[in-house]
Copies of this chain bind each other. A is one copy, B any other.
Amino acid sequence: MALLIIGSQWSEEFAAAARALNSGLDIRVWPETGRIEDIRYALAWGPPVGVLKTFPNLELIISVGAGVDHLMKDPELPDVPIVRYVDPDLTNRMVSYLVLHVLFHQRRMCEFLELQRERKWEFRPEPGTHEVRVGLMGLGVMGEATAKALKALGFQLRGWSRSERNLEGVECFAGQGGLDAFLSGTDILVCTLPLTPDTRGIINRDLLSKLSQHGRHQRMPGPVLINAGRGALQIEADILAALDAGELYAASLDVFEVEPLPASSPLWSHPRLIVTPHNAAESTPEAISRYTLRQIRRHQAGEPLENVVDRARGY
């Protein structure tokens, strides 16, 4: 019985970590599959389209990320359970990324870094955390943990999700009908949505124009966007246009329409835009391999799998 690791640039690291756990499984890294009949399990990140269906005895797919859009791109994806990677380590990293970037813009750090480059000692009015309304698009495990962390720092929290949610201390909005009301009271928009046909391109000029402009009358100089979900959620030309028009004050992007972000992209050099290389919630090979082997063990023992994907919803 073999586990095939496929697609990720870190496949060899995952394999080394999995072998170190001495599970008794045969660990193989694509394209060195060996006998294809041996492959029962796959740990995958964006596998080449059509490859997974070539393993006749495949029983289970584990997604390297919390999102599974990279798998759903394969129209011939075998009809076996898919487990997405949800782990305290991954969640903790996402929370630290999002809290960092919320605080960064609350404290107007794009401006202070620019002042530092110019060797200028200058004050700027900064809002207190209690004056800033953070709007979370996506209230899954990551959104919920982020809400809790930001709440503890004093921020006002609101959230938007596809279906109704009820989180303590978070003003919740749901569905297409609740979107405008959600946006109009949001100073800092934090996106951790999954990529599905419904959410593709959702972060566009129209959406950004509906964010609160109220902040500029207070100490917050305008709305902020933070996207750590998926690049295909956003229209990058629209984000740049909104920044240049002053509809957006600043943004932090961890994900992009094309990754790696091409060196020619104008996003790199915008003074109010922070670009990070899809590292918000990169987890360690050890944590991913431990999780993968735990799911395989549960599957073998006939126990329920964790974080099984609902293909109809797309996450």
The answer to whether A96 and B92 have CB atoms under 8 Å apart is no
A97 within 8 A of B: yes
Interface string of A101-119 (1 = CB under 8 A from B): 0011011010011011001
Q: Which residues of B contact A99 (CB under 8 A)?
A: 99, 103, 153
Interface segment out of the listed A69-77, A190-198, A273-281 = A273-281
A128 at the interface (CB under 8 A from B): yes
A115 to B261, CA, bound (A): 12
In the assembled complex, how far is the CB of residue A59 from the closest CB belonging to chain B, in whole angstroms?
Answer: 31
Docked complex Cα distance between A112 and B280 (Å)? 12
Interface residues of A in 215-254 (CB under 8 A from B): none
Residues of chain A at interface, number, CB under 8 A: 45
Q: Quick check: B268 and A128 within 8 Å, CB to CB?
A: no
A158 to B279 alpha-carbon distance, docked (Å): 28
B121 lies within 8 A of A260 (CB): yes
Given contacts A97-B107, A104-B100, contact A123 B92 (CB under 8 A): no
In the complex, what residue of chain B is closest to A97 when comparing beta carbons? B107
Residues in A196-219 with C-beta less than 8 Å from chain B: none
Residues of B within 8 A of A89 (CB): 128
Residue in contact with A261 in the complex, picked from B95, B121, B275, B279, CB distance below 8 Å: B121
A268–B92 CB distance below 8 A: no
A37 contacts the other chain (CB 8 A): no
Tell me which residues across on chain B come within 8 A of A116, comparing CB atoms: 268, 274-276
What separation, in Å, do the CA atoms of A89 and B103 have in the docked complex? 16
User: Across the interface, which residues of B come within 8 angstroms of A149, CB to CB?
Assistant: 152-153
Binary contact readout A81-98 vs B (1 if CB under 8 angstroms, 0 otherwise): 000000001001101110
Give every chain B residue within 8 A of A97 (Cβ-Cβ): 107
Name A268's contact: one of B119, B129, B154, B275 (CB within 8 Å): B119
In the complex, A119→B270 CA distance in Å? 11
- CB–CB B153/A123 < 8 A: no
Query: How far does the Cβ of A237 sit from chain B's closest Cβ, in whole Å?
Result: 18
Could you say which residues of chain B place their CB within 8 Å of the CB of A113? 113, 274
A32 located at the interface, meaning its Cβ lies under 8 Å from any Cβ of chain B in the complex: no
Q: Given the complex of chains A and B, what is the CA–CA distance between A279 and B127 in angstroms? A: 12
**6 nearest A-B pairs in the assembled complex, by CB-CB distance:** A121-B260, A100-B103, A119-B263, A119-B268, A121-B277, A116-B275
- 15 A-B pairs with CB atoms under 8 Å apart are A89-B128, A92-B153, A96-B106, A96-B129, A100-B104, A100-B107, A100-B109, A115-B277, A116-B274, A116-B276, A119-B265, A120-B263, A123-B279, A149-B152, A149-B153
